[in-house]
Structure 1
Amino acid sequence: MTAARPHRRPTRLHTAILASLATMAAGAQPVAAQGLDTILITAPEPMAIDQPVTLTADDAAPRADLAEVLREISGVEAGRMSGHGLDPVIRGQREHQLNVLLDGAAIANACPNRMDPPTSFGNLAGYDAVEVRKGVTTLTRGPGGSGGSIELTRNTFERAAEPGVQSRFGFATSSNGLTDQSSADVLMSNGHAYGRVIGQIANGENYEDGDGNEVPSSFKQRSGTIIGGYRVSDATGIEVSIDRNRMLDTRYAGTGMDSIFDNATIYRLDGRLGDLEGPVDGVRLEVSRANVDHLMDNYSLRELTAPMPMEAPAESHTTTARLTASSHINQIEIDYGLDFQRVEQNAQAINAMTDMLAFRQWPDGQTDQFGAFVESDWDLGDSNSLRAGLRLDRFESEIDTALDKSIATHMMVPADIRAAAAEAKSDTEISGLLRYNHAFNANLSGHVGLSRTAVAPNLTQKYITLLMNGMLAKVGNPDLEPEIHHQIEAGLAWQNERLATSANVYIDQVDGYILQDRQIAGLMPMTTSYRNVDARLYGGELDLRYALTDWLATEAQFSYVRGRNTSDSRDLPQIPPLSGNLGVRAERGAIDGAVVLRWAAHAEAIDEQSGLDTRETAGYAVLDLNAGYDITRNWRLEAGVDNVFDRTYAQHVNRAYSGAFGDPTSRINEPGRTVWARLTARF
C-alpha cells in the first residue's frame, strides 16, 4: 500500500485561486510558522508557459455535475437547465468554442438540445484531475479552443510506476438535490503491468430554490472504468481503457423533454515510445472512439402538457486519433504531429401515439477534421521563454440527403436552405500561436500571447431542423463559415511571502462569429437560425490571496467579460456579468475551513433577438461555509452549507424555464440552502 498524503487537502475556493495564480507565479514560498502547519502558496517554476487551473475530487463540494464545480474558477461559468448536464462557459465562449477531452478522448453530445454536453460524461471521482486552460495556450490538442479547454486527466501510467495497491473510496450526500454519491478507485501494479478499476453511483432528487419551489432536476448516474497497461519505462508503454457512463431518468426544468437514458461508452488506446536516440525524442499515439445512445420524451417523467406525446431517439459517435512526436534542438523543444476527428450525429422526433416520424433533427450528419501541427518552446535564458505554434486544419461536413423530413428534404424548410444542405461542405484554415513569458525578478512575472484560431461550425448550427406546433422553430445554416478568432492576452503575477496575486486581460476580435438569431432574411420572424457576424469579446480576471497569519488567509476573485456583435451594434447573448468570490480560509492542525461569499452583478447586457436571453438577470450575493477534519492520515471528513441564508437567485448564464415548470422568461433558479457532507478514505 502507498502512504497517505502528508498534507491536508485545501478547501475548494483556495485550490481554485491558487491554481489560477499558478499560471505565472514562481516556486513555493511558505509562510513561516512556529510549531504549526504552514500555508503554502504553491506554484510551478516561473518559466512554465501554459500551466492550467487544476482541480481534483477533493477540491470541491460534492456536485451532481462536473461543470458546477468548474464555476469556482474565475472566468468560468456554466449554464444550467437541470441538476445535471450544465454546459461550461469560459470567458463568454461555449460549446464548439471550447475543447473538452476525457483522458484524451473527445465525445460529442447526442442530444441536439445539449442535455449532455461533453463534461456531463465525466466526474471528478473517476479522474485524477480536471485541467482548465483559459484562452489559447497550445495548438497541439486539437483545432479551435478559442475560449479555452477542459481536460479530465488520469495519471494511471505515471502512478503505476509504484508497485502495490493504491485506492480511494468516497461517499457524499446533501440535503438538497444530490442524495448520495459513492465512488471507488483501485489501482494495482507490479511496477510494469497494471490494472485500474473505477466506479461511481450517484442519485439526485429535484432540488428546491430559496423560495421552496421544486425545480425538476432528478437523475440517476452509473459509471465504471477498466484500465489496463504495461510500462516498459517511465517514457515507454501502452494503455487501453473502457469507460461506461449511464444517465437514467434525468429531468430538465429548462427544456420540453426529459432524458430517459443517455448511455456513453468510450474506448481508448494510448501508446508511447520515449527515450529514443536520434532526431526524435519520443512518439505518442492516442486513439479513441466514443459512442452515445440517447432517448428523450415529453411524457414518461412529467405530466403531458404538449399537444401530443413525442419521443426523440438520438446518437453520436466520435472517433479521434492523434500522433505526436517530440524533438529537442539545443534550447528548443518541439512537438509536432497529425490529428483527426470524426463526429457522426443522428436524431429524430417521433409521434409516440402513431410511431410516425415527425422530422429529423440531425439527418445522419458527419463532420471530419484533419489537422497537422508544430509547436516549439524556446528557453531564451535570463528568465525569458517563447512558445510558437502553427497548425493547418481541413474541415468537411455532410448529411444523408436521401432521408426524408430533414433540412434537405422537409417542405417547410426554405428551398435555398434545402439546396445548400444537399451539398457537402469543406474549409481549410490556418491557426497560429505566439506566447512570451518573462520573469522580471523573483517576485514578479508576466506574459503576453497572440493567437489566431479557427472554430468550425458544428452539425447543429449547420443542419438542425426543429418543428413546434406545426411551425418551423429552428433550422440550421449549411453555408456557415468557420469563426476566425484573433486574440491578444497579457498578464502579470506577483508573489511574496504573504501576498499572491495575478491579473489577466484579453481581447478577441472574431471574424464570422456564429450567432443564433431570430431575425434572419427569408425566415419567419420566430424561426431561429444561425449566421456569421463580426464580434468582439474582451475582459479579464483578477485573483488575490493574502496570508494574515500562519493559519489564516483572505482570498478574492474577480472576472469580467463583455461581448459585442459589432456587425449589428448589439450585445452578444449569454455573456456573464461581473462576478467573483470573497473568502476567508483557516487551516490549523487537522482542521481547516472557509467562509466564502459568491456574488454577481446585475446582468443588463443582453440580446433578446437570439432567443437565449429573455430578460435582464438580477445580481446576487450568496454565503457558503465549509470545513474539513483529517480523522487520520487515511480518513477525511468534510461538511458544509451552501447558500446559508437560503437566497433565491439565478445565474445569468442559465437556461430559461420550460413553460411547464415556470415563467419561460425567467432563468432557472439555483438551489436554496444545501447542507452536504463527504467521507473519503485513501490507502
Structure 2
Amino acid sequence: MNRISPAAGALARLPACLALAVLAQPAHAQAPSHDDAHTLDTLVVTAAAPRSALHWVTDPRLPRQPVPASDGADYLKTVPGFAAVRNGGTNGDPVLRGMFGSRLNILSNDGNLIGACPARMDNPLSYISPETYDRLTIIKGPQSVRWGAGASAGTIRFERDTPRFDTAGLRAEGSALVGSRNRNDQVLDLTGGMPQGYVRASGNRSESGDYHDGRGQVVPSKWRKWNGDVAVGWTPDPHTLLEISAGAGDAIARYAGRGMDGAMFKRTSYAARFEKRGLPGAWDRIDANVYDNVADHVMDNYTLRTPNPASSMPMPMASNVDRRTRGGRVSAEWRWQDVAVVAGVDAEDSRHRGRNAMGRDAYRALPKTTDAQFRRQGVFSEMTLGADTGKRWISGLRIDRARVHDLRRNLGSGMMAMPNPSFDARRQQWLGSGFVRHERDLQGGLTWYAGLGRSARMPDYWELFSPNQGPQGAVNAFTAIAPERTTQLDIGLQFRTAQLQAWVSAYAGRLDDYILFTYRDGGMMGSTSQADNVQARIAGAEAGASWQMAEQWLLGGSLAYAWGENRDTGRPLPQMPPLEARLNLEWQGQDWSAGALLRGVTAQHWVALGQGNVVARDLGPSAGFATLALNAAYRVTPALRVSAGVDNVFDRYYSEHLNLAGSADFGFPAEPVRIAEPGRTAWLKLDYRY
C-alpha cells in the first residue's frame, strides 16, 4: 500500500472535507507526483476543497453523495462551480462556470478520448469510469498551458498512480454498491509486483433501471456499463518508469431527452508512458506518453424504445459513428533553487467516421465514411519564479497549429441530402495561449492570488460540423465559424487554521467570437441549429468554508454563482447554471460517522430562450429547489468499510436548470418540459482495501 505519514494517519479519521483541507499543500506547491499521492481514510464526500490556487485534487474512489450516476460529470459536481447538462440517468455533459464542450480539456491518464456523436450523446466522460482512477485533478480557468490547447474554462485530469513495491506482493481494492431502481455497481482493482515492475488490472460494471421522479413517474433512464484496463510497468529503480497499457469498454443507455438511445459505447484504448526523475544537474525529470483511443458509438430508436410513428423518425433508424484519436506528449522539467521551468511539445490526430441507415441493423452492411479530420501540434512552457517561497510568479505560453479537413460529400442524409459546397476544404490556424499569475502567502494562514490568462480555441467537431447553418451568408459553419478567444482574470483568497478553512475565488472574462447555437423549430422535421460568433463576457465566484466546531463535529458549506452576457445584443448567455449553495454537517466517531447534506438552488430567470450549445438550449426560466441527503458509515475492520445513504430524503419533485426537454417518444408533451430528477433514493456501499 502507499505509505502514509503519521500526521496523515492522525488526520485520516477526520471527515472528508476537513481532511482534504488540512492536508492540502501550500498554495505554492506543485500537484502531487504519482509516488507521493496517498488515499485518505475519508468517508462520504459531499464537497471538495481546493488544494492550492485554482487546483482541486480529490479521490474519485470515495463514496459520494448524492450517489453519482456512474459518469464523470456527476463526480465533478462535488466541486463548486461544476454543473451538468442533464438528460435522464447517465452521461450528463459537464459544465464549469457556464462553459461547455471543448472549453473543458478532459484527459484520462494524460490521453484524449473524444466522443463521436454529432450531438455529444457520448461526451468524453461517457467513456471514463471515475472509480477506476486514483486521483481527479481540476485546474479552473485558463491558468495552465501544460495539458493541451483550448482549455479556456479549465482542465480535468483523471490519473492513475504508479505502483511501487519494496518486496514482491499483491494489493487489492474493490467496492460494491446497491441502491434503488436496481442500481448495482462493482469495482475491482488488483496489482501485483516486485521492485522491478508490476501488473495492474482494473475493471468495473454499473447498472441501473429507469428511475422514478418525486411524483412517482417513471423516467426512461436505464443504463448498463463495463470497463476493463490492464497496465504492465517496468521500474528498474525508484526514479524510472516504463509502462504500457490497454483497455476496453462498452455500454447501453436510454435517454428521456433524446430522439435516440445509445445502443453501443465501445471503447478501445492503448497507451505507453515513460518517466525519469533525479536527472543530473538542474534537469529534474522527463515525461513522455503516447496514446491511441477509439470511441465506437451506435445510436438507434429501436433497441431501448419503440419507434414513434408521430415523430420525425417513425421507422427504425440507426447511426454508427466512431472517432479515433491518437496523440502524444514529451515534457522536461528543470530546477535552479527557486526557479522551476517545464517545457515540452504535444500533438494530436483525430479522425471521425460514420454510417447510418433505415431498418433494424441495416447500417451494418454499409461501409463507414470519413467526414472530418483534425490535426494539432503544440509547443508549451511554464516558469515559476520563487518556487517554494512565500512570493511566487507563475507564467506560461503555448503555440498551436490546428488543421481541419472537411470530407463530407453531402450535407444531410437520404432524400434531404445535398452536395456539400465545402467538400475537401481545409482550414489552418495558428493559436496562441498564455497566462501570468502571482501568489503570495501572508501571516496567519492567509494566501491570495491573481492571474490573467488568455486562451485561443479552434472550433471543435460539434461547432464546425453539427450545425445546420453557419453565420448569415456563410456556406456552412465549417467555412465561417472563427476561433474563440478568452481573456480572463482570476483572483482568490485561502485561509487555513486548525479549526477553520475558508476560500473564495472570483473571475471575470471577455470572450471574443464566442460560439453560440440558435435553434429554430422545424415541426415534423425537427429543429434546426445555426452557429454564430458573438462577443460575450462572463463573471462569477465560488466560495467555501469548513469549521471544526468540536472534536467530532464539522460544519461546512459552499456557494457557486455564474453569469454571462451576449455583448452584441445585451441578452443573457444561455446555459448559465443558477446560484447554488451546499451546507453539510458531519459527525465522526471512532468507527462510526454520520452526515447530512442540504443543497439549495435558486430560480434562474437569466435565460436566452432557444439558444445554447450543440447538446441543449435554454427552455425558459426554472424554479428553485432544495434537497436533503443523509449518510452514515461504519469501519468494520481497517480494510473494510460500509457506508449508506438516502438522497432526496423528502422525495421532492424537481429538475435541474441545465436540462434537455423530455422526448415525445416517452409521452412527454410537445411543449418543452425539463426532465425531473430521481425521487427518494437509498444506497449501500461496501469498500475493501488490502
TM-score (norm 2): 0.88
Describe the SS at the equivalent of 1:660. Answer: helix
Equivalent residue number for residue 299 of structure 2: 296
Determine the structure 2 residue equivalent to 1:107: 113
Give 1:436's aligned amino acid. Answer: H
Q: Is the 8 A contact 2:18 2:546 kept in 1?
A: no
- Which residue is equivalent to 2:539? 538
Equivalent residues in 2 for 1:193-592, closer than 5 Å? 193-248=197-252, 250-278=253-281, 280-305=283-308, 306=311, 307-352=314-359, 355=362, 364-379=371-386, 383-401=390-408, 403-405=409-411, 418-420=420-422, 422-464=424-466, 476-518=477-519, 527-592=528-593
Determine if contact 2:119/2:466 at 8 Å carries over to the other structure.
Answer: no
Match of 2:144 in 1: 138
Change in 2 beyond 3 A, CA 1:149/1:652 = same
CA distance in 2, matches of 1:345, 1:10: 49
Query: TM-score, normalised on structure 1?
Result: 0.89
Structure-2 separation of matches of 1:114 and 1:303: 22
Note if contact 1:107-1:290 (Cα within 8 Å) is conserved in structure 2.
yes
- CA distance 1:518–1:79, shift in 2 (3 Å): closer
Give 1:50 deviation, angstroms. 5.3
Change (3 A) 1:607 1:45: closer
Instruction: Find 2:159's aligned residue among 153, 172, 176.
Output: 153
The CA distance in 2 between the partners of 1:158 and 1:391, in whole Å, is 32
Counterpart Cα distance in 2 of 1:603 and 1:499: 32
Match of 2:672 among 665, 668, 673: 665
The Cα of 1:410 is off from its aligned counterpart by: 9.3
Moved more, 231-240 or 144-153: 231-240
Which residue number corresponds to residue 626 of structure 2? Answer: 621
Q: Is the 8 A contact 2:433 2:456 kept in 1?
A: yes
Unaligned runs of 5+ in 2: 31-41, 470-474
Superposed CA deviations along residues 243-266 of structure 1, whole A, max 9, x for unmatched, are 211113x10111000111110111
C-alpha distance in structure 1 between counterparts of 2:391 and 2:548, whole Å: 29
| Cα contact 1:282–1:327 (8 A) shared by 2 | yes
Which stretch of the first structure deviates more once superposed, 525-534 or 125-134? 525-534
Instruction: Kindly indicate whether the alpha-carbon contact (under 8 Å) linking 2:87 and 2:675 is maintained by their aligned counterparts in 1.
Output: yes
User: Aligned partner of 1:625: which letter?
Assistant: L
Is 1:125–2:131 an aligned residue pair?
Answer: yes
What SS does structure 1 have at the residue aligned with 2:462? helix
Letter in 1 for 2:156: I
1:173 maps to 178
- Cα gap change, 1:338/1:580 in structure 2, threshold over 3 Å: closer, same or farther? same
Offset of 1:191 from its aligned partner?
1.7
Q: Deviations over 1:288-324 (max 9, x none)?
A: 0110111111122112103222111110111121011
| Superposed displacement of residue 204, structure 1 | 1.0
The answer to whether residue 194 in structure 2 is matched with residue 190 in structure 1 is yes
Instruction: Identify which range, 121-130 or 99-108, moves more after superposition.
Output: 121-130
Other-structure match for 1:92: 98
| Contact 2:63-2:685 at 8 Å conserved across structures | no
Tell me, in whole angstroms, the C-alpha distance in 2 between the residues paired with 1:175 and 1:478: 49
SS at match of 1:390: strand
1:12 CA drift (Å): 8.8
User: Equivalent residue for 1:80?
Assistant: 86
Give SS of 1:143's match: coil
Q: Distance in 2 between matches of 1:162 and 1:593?
A: 38
Q: Which residue of 1 aligns with 2:64?
A: 60
Taking the aligned partners of 2:641 and 2:11, their CA distance within structure 1 comes to 9
The answer (yes or no) to whether the contact 2:397–2:434 under 8 Å persists in 1 is yes
Residues in 1 aligned to 2:48 and 2:336: alpha-carbon distance in whole angstroms? 27
Deviation at 1:199, TM superposition (A): 1.3
Moved more, 262-271 or 133-142: 133-142
Aligned length: 653
Which residue identity lines up with residue 675 of structure 2 in the other structure? Answer: I
Identity %: 27
The residue number in structure 2 matching 1:34 is none
Q: Deviations over 1:487-520 (max 9, x none)?
A: 1010011122221110111011111111011379
Unmatched runs of 5 consecutive residues or more in structure 1 = 28-36, 468-473
Q: Is the 8 A contact 1:21 1:493 kept in 2?
A: no
Aligned mates of 1:259, 1:501 — CA distance in 2 = 42
Q: Is the 8 A contact 1:161 1:189 kept in 2?
A: no
Shift of residue 124 of structure 1?
A: 2.5
Please list the CA deviations of residues 562-584 of structure 1 after superposition, one character each: whole Å capped at 9, or x if unmatched.
01111121111111010020111
State the SS of the aligned residue for 2:232: strand
Deviation at 1:80, TM superposition (A): 1.4
CA change 1:6–1:339 in 2 (3 A) is: same
* Residues 648, 681 of structure 2: 8 Å contact kept: yes
| Contact 2:50-2:56 within 8 A present in 1 as well | no
Using the TM superposition, give the Cα deviation of residue 363 of structure 1 relative to its aligned residue in structure 2, in angstroms.
Answer: 5.1
Which residue is 2:651 aligned to? Answer: 646
Cα distance in 2, alignment partners of residues 356 and 233 from structure 1: 52
One-letter amino acid of the counterpart of residue 152, structure 1: F
Is the CA contact (8 Å cut-off) linking 1:228 and 1:239 kept in structure 2? yes
Tell me the alpha carbon deviations over residues 460-484 of structure 1, each in whole angstroms, 9 at most, x when there is no partner.
21122669xxxxxx97443211111
**2:676 maps to amino acid:** N
Matched AA of 2:114: A
One-letter amino acid matched to 1:242 = A
Per-residue CA distance 1:5-64 (angstroms, 9 max, x = gap): 95696899737984998784999xxxxxxxxx99xxx99999x55532323311414432
CA distance 1:9–1:670, shift in 2 (3 Å): farther
Distance 1:345 1:516 in 2: 22
**Aligned 8 A contact 2:374 2:402 in 1:** yes
Contact in 2 for aligned 1:575/1:606 (Cα 8 Å) = yes
Q: Are the counterparts in 2 of residues 316 and 345 from structure 1 also a CA contact under 8 Å?
A: yes
Structure 1 counterpart of 2:153, which letter? G
| 1:102–1:261 distance in 2 versus 1, CA, 3 Å | same
RMSD: 3.3
Shift of 1:380: 6.4
Report the counterpart of residue 679 of structure 1 in structure 2: 686
Q: Secondary structure at the match of 1:119?
A: helix
Name the amino acid aligned to 1:286: N
